[in-house]
Structure 1
């Protein structure tokens, strides 16, 4: 195949992906804004907020991972031009996301006492508990919102969620300002203000997307005839059988990076700070390929519905190629700027911490080089997962990601980080190994399955 066969698809890929990317960056911004504003209150508050947020982040990854099952099913129904099937997916998806939102909130609420055993300072734990309750509660509107979002995404309308996210961020920022510092008639609530801001802004985001979709003629028919009596076993099972493995895939990766934070914390505070810097930058670039991955799921789900498997493979490869170009560019920037980027995160004017800061910057600049190498692996594994989700293959990929991250990656991280005394750099070499193994085996899996689809289709 000529290169132009694939590059021709770039425009449509980017049009679908960019609103998703902006929305994803919006999700992460909520956390960053909290950290910056709570950080101004003091170190204890910041530690408490990040501790609570790390719990919620794991819950969020499970919820978002599960909801991604809706997208390929909607895209497939769209390709088949089946309103009945699409409506059924939408209604079942919303009910399941609602149940999941409440369950995750309940789980975190019950698991809250575990914070005490995480070896965190007492005063941090005391602040983290009430904060955790509220931020965990915000998972309910967030995951129900995901039900609407994945539905709209599956229909190829990715902008609604983007606008909802932007609205959420603006409201969140304003609420944080007035509630943390007690501006005008509002009470001064300190870090709890940030939590209240998160809950309210996420509720507004949910209300916005509900009415935005409902008022659009294209989506109107999907809202008709909703009743709990209509929720049946077979569609419920279909969504769960796609959603559960997708949630686990996302969980394995999030847990791997959370494990890296914990490992670096046991090595020392400069390693932990350096890890945080490199992770923030790697997460930022990851959102770009995550957006491409969703675009891949949508387009590949569509081609599956239409039954054009040759085109399906072309679309998939064009997404893989685009991901390599995007992440390759970021990798280059990471290498060129590996000494400069970490300085943005460290207060270089503070003379007392000069020695620590120099150490943090030197570790972080080494991590940037490893991060540069794993940009490609990270990009490939996530877009190939998206492609596999598009053809509704999620079980084997779940096992692949588990083995890659937890049988290959994390043990290497532990060994090199602690035993071989390579510190944070050793931990990151483990992450690189895990992501590379995942990328390779997921690609082989997709290659095999998509070839099979073409062959079977020709035999039919």
Structure 2
């Protein structure tokens, strides 16, 4: 029976992981191309991408509120309710897009007041504006992705992500370096390529949902269902705590990027490289975590608490295996990773110095990803925002400042704080999940 859980989770999770790796390959390609174009562009991309990663992951967290709703309805065979939930999710994500775009616009007008190297501002500003224009398309794509994942159709989003990211890489090459008669736009070219690919991915999802037989049974509920207070409120009640939890986790990295910016352009460039590496591991683990959430929501809809618990445990075992598989090669290649992205020896040396604290937090990252998704699967998200605040704002960020500036450990010290935040978050999520499921049993 347990073997069936391993097989089912892998079957569901591998397409999500492949799609997530596609996103990471894009991040790698961006960083490689920008880094070989100019060190200033790499440093500027580091800061702007960290700010937008915070916004995007916050918005992605909000869209995850749809997963337990769709998963539970699908587990109960309530097909009309699935289409109606998607319609309400698109409305909620559109409203959130307006709010987040206004917040990011306010940040844009204060770029000069954030203590970043002044020579980077001409690179940051146009890149920032292009990414800002792409934000609504990220939210609409997320809504469709959570719908298809929730009905266990994870291959669709995988192929769309892979296609969009391939297009983005080709666009990067053309626009960053000025190929095929296009002007050499550098970092701004990377932003334009990202905008175009995000628009096209939403268009493809719309064509699939409204123009193919694949989703015919869900279109009826989408067309006849109305945007209503009950569904809209439920999605917001689930979405905001998840968004807050993921936003605070990402904020601990984004605010650390601001602290690293105080150390200069070299430190910021090394941070961007390590974030690209970190995102590979995170997305692999998170792909399996998303599968855990979907499977648990299906079982939760059927009131099968025994299989809810079994799925969470099996998911953690699989994520631990992934931690080992990613950590070993990263450690062995620690002196070569920096050189893949830049010819600057100082940046490469700084990257090698941060590998050990980076590897130390992989267990904690896997733990918090698995049990945060397990809690989403049973729609118990009210307290995860509080746990995140404690882990990241009361533990991780103060420790980063203490190690980096009070103890004078620099970039390595700031990275050394992350194991404390991520592991403490994972422990709190695990204890909450165990408490809730024991209470249900």
Settle same-fold status: TM greater than 0.5: yes
Please, which runs of 5 or more residues in structure 2 have no aligned partner? none
Larger radius of gyration: 1
For residue 50 of structure 1, report the CA deviation from its aligned partner.
3.5
How far apart, CA to CA, are the structure 2 residues paired with 1:236 and 1:397? Answer: 21
Shift of 1:165: 0.9
1:17 equivalent in alignment to 2:4: no
The answer to whether 1:34 aligns with 2:18 is no
Cα offset, 1:274, TM superposition? 4.4
> 1:266 maps to what in 2?
262
User: What's the CA shift for 1:216?
Assistant: 4.3
Closer/same/farther in 2, CA of residues 370 and 50 from structure 1, 3 Å limit:
closer
**Residue 83 of structure 2 contacts residue 221 of structure 2 at CA under 8 Å; is this kept in 1?**
no
How far apart are the structure 2 equivalents of 1:58 and 1:36? Answer: 21
Do the aligned partners of residues 218 and 372 (structure 1) sit closer, same or farther apart at CA in structure 2, a change above 3 Å counting?
same
Contact 1:156 1:298 (C-alpha < 8 Å) held by counterparts: yes
Q: TM (normalized to structure 1)?
A: 0.89
Residues 323-380 of structure 1: CA deviation (Å, up to 9, x unaligned): 1121133333344444454454453xxxxx65x35xx52x543432222221111111
**Counterpart-to-counterpart distance in 2, 1:95 and 1:225:** 15
The answer to whether the aligner puts 1:377 opposite 2:364 as a matched pair is yes
Cα offset, 1:228, TM superposition: 10
Count of residue pairs brought into register by the alignment:
441
Structure 1 residues 127 and 228 mapped into 2: Cα distance closer, same or farther (>3 Å)?
Answer: farther
Q: Which has the higher contact order (CA 8 A, sep 6+)?
A: 2
Q: Who is 1:457 aligned against?
A: none
What pairs with 1:129-148 in structure 2 (closer than 5 Å)?
129-148=125-144
The range that moved more, 147-156 or 415-424, is 415-424
User: Does the aligned pair in 2 maintain the 1:334–1:369 contact within 8 Å?
Assistant: no
Please show how residues 93-242 of structure 1 align to structure 2 within 5 Å: 93-184=89-180, 186=182, 188-224=184-220, 226=222, 230-242=226-238
Distance 1:314 1:102 in 2: 40
2:383 pairs, out of 396, 417, 428, with 396
Structure 1 stretches of 5 or more lacking a match? 348-352, 455-460
Partner of 1:73: 69
Q: 1:70–1:90: 8 Å Cα contact kept in structure 2? A: yes
Which whole-Å deviations, capped at 9, do the CAs of 1:105-154 have from their partners, x for residues lacking one? Answer: 23322331110112234453233223222211111112101110000000
Relative to structure 1, is the Cα distance of residues 251 and 204 closer, same or farther in structure 2, using a 3 angstrom cutoff? Answer: same
Instruction: Work out the CA distance in 2 between the residues paired with 1:42 and 1:337.
Output: 24
> 3-state SS of the aligned residue for 2:383?
helix
Q: Offset of 1:287 from its aligned partner?
A: 1.0
Alpha carbon RMSD of aligned pairs, Å? 2.4
